[in-house]
Amino acid sequence: MPTAAFLLRHISRHCLRNHFSPQLCVRNAAPLGTTAKEEMERFWNKNTGSKRPLSPHITIYSWSLPIVMSISLWEADAGLADHRSGD
Protein backbone atom coordinates (compact mmCIF):
# COMPACT_ATOMS: atom_id res chain seq x y z
CA MET A 1 0.00 0.00 0.00
CA PRO A 2 2.74 2.55 0.69
CA THR A 3 3.82 2.21 -2.95
CA ALA A 4 0.36 3.16 -4.21
CA ALA A 5 0.27 6.21 -1.94
CA PHE A 6 3.74 7.25 -3.11
CA LEU A 7 2.73 6.84 -6.75
CA LEU A 8 -0.47 8.84 -6.22
CA ARG A 9 1.46 11.62 -4.46
CA HIS A 10 4.09 11.71 -7.21
CA ILE A 11 1.48 11.91 -9.99
CA SER A 12 -0.47 14.60 -8.11
CA ARG A 13 2.64 16.72 -7.65
CA HIS A 14 3.52 16.36 -11.31
CA CYS A 15 0.02 17.42 -12.39
CA LEU A 16 -0.02 20.40 -10.00
CA ARG A 17 3.43 21.49 -11.15
CA ASN A 18 2.29 21.43 -14.77
CA HIS A 19 -0.93 23.23 -13.85
CA PHE A 20 0.80 26.13 -12.09
CA SER A 21 3.81 26.40 -14.38
CA PRO A 22 2.69 25.56 -17.93
CA GLN A 23 5.98 26.75 -19.43
CA LEU A 24 7.46 23.40 -18.42
CA CYS A 25 5.07 21.64 -20.77
CA VAL A 26 5.38 24.17 -23.57
CA ARG A 27 9.16 24.08 -23.50
CA ASN A 28 9.16 20.38 -24.30
CA ALA A 29 6.35 20.52 -26.85
CA ALA A 30 7.18 19.85 -30.48
CA PRO A 31 5.10 21.06 -33.43
CA LEU A 32 2.72 18.38 -34.63
CA GLY A 33 2.43 19.47 -38.24
CA THR A 34 3.43 22.00 -40.83
CA THR A 35 2.32 25.60 -40.77
CA ALA A 36 0.02 27.16 -43.34
CA LYS A 37 2.91 29.13 -44.80
CA GLU A 38 4.94 25.96 -45.35
CA GLU A 39 1.95 24.25 -46.97
CA MET A 40 1.39 27.23 -49.27
CA GLU A 41 5.06 27.37 -50.29
CA ARG A 42 5.10 23.64 -51.01
CA PHE A 43 1.89 23.94 -53.09
CA TRP A 44 3.20 26.80 -55.24
CA ASN A 45 6.65 25.24 -55.65
CA LYS A 46 5.04 22.04 -56.89
CA ASN A 47 2.68 23.83 -59.28
CA THR A 48 5.22 26.25 -60.74
CA GLY A 49 7.74 23.45 -61.13
CA SER A 50 5.37 21.26 -63.15
CA LYS A 51 5.29 23.79 -66.06
CA ARG A 52 1.62 23.09 -66.75
CA PRO A 53 -0.28 25.62 -68.88
CA LEU A 54 -2.90 27.81 -67.24
CA SER A 55 -6.52 26.85 -67.59
CA PRO A 56 -8.17 28.57 -70.57
CA HIS A 57 -11.37 29.32 -68.61
CA ILE A 58 -13.86 31.14 -70.86
CA THR A 59 -11.79 30.85 -74.04
CA ILE A 60 -12.73 27.18 -74.40
CA TYR A 61 -16.36 28.12 -75.08
CA SER A 62 -17.52 29.34 -78.47
CA TRP A 63 -19.58 32.51 -78.58
CA SER A 64 -23.21 31.78 -79.28
CA LEU A 65 -26.33 33.91 -79.55
CA PRO A 66 -27.60 33.15 -76.00
CA ILE A 67 -24.27 34.18 -74.47
CA VAL A 68 -24.18 37.45 -76.41
CA MET A 69 -27.83 38.21 -75.60
CA SER A 70 -27.28 37.52 -71.90
CA ILE A 71 -24.26 39.82 -71.71
CA SER A 72 -26.06 42.54 -73.70
CA LEU A 73 -29.11 42.34 -71.44
CA TRP A 74 -26.94 42.58 -68.34
CA GLU A 75 -25.16 45.66 -69.70
CA ALA A 76 -28.47 47.29 -70.67
CA ASP A 77 -29.91 46.65 -67.21
CA ALA A 78 -26.81 48.09 -65.56
CA GLY A 79 -27.04 51.17 -67.78
CA LEU A 80 -30.73 51.69 -67.01
CA ALA A 81 -30.13 51.29 -63.28
CA ASP A 82 -27.29 53.80 -63.47
CA HIS A 83 -29.46 56.26 -65.41
CA ARG A 84 -32.37 55.87 -62.99
CA SER A 85 -30.22 56.46 -59.91
CA GLY A 86 -28.98 59.73 -61.41
CA ASP A 87 -25.29 58.93 -61.43
Q: What are 58-86's pLDDT values in tens digits?
A: 677 788 899 899 999 999 999 999 888 87
- The answer to whether residue 83 is domain-embedded is yes
Q: Amino acid identity, residue 63? A: W
Q: Is the pTM of this model over 0.75?
A: no
Distance between CA atoms of 48 and 42, rounded to whole angstroms?
Answer: 10
- Host domain of residue 75: 59-87
**Contact residues for 61 (Cβ-Cβ < 8 A; gap 6+):** 67
Query: Rounded mean pLDDT of the chain?
Result: 78
Distances (CA, A) of 57 to 29, 53, 54, 62: 46, 12, 9, 12
- The answer to whether residue 25 is domain-embedded is no
- The answer to whether residue 1 is domain-embedded is no
Question: What percentage of residues in the chain have a pLDDT greater than 70?
Answer: 71
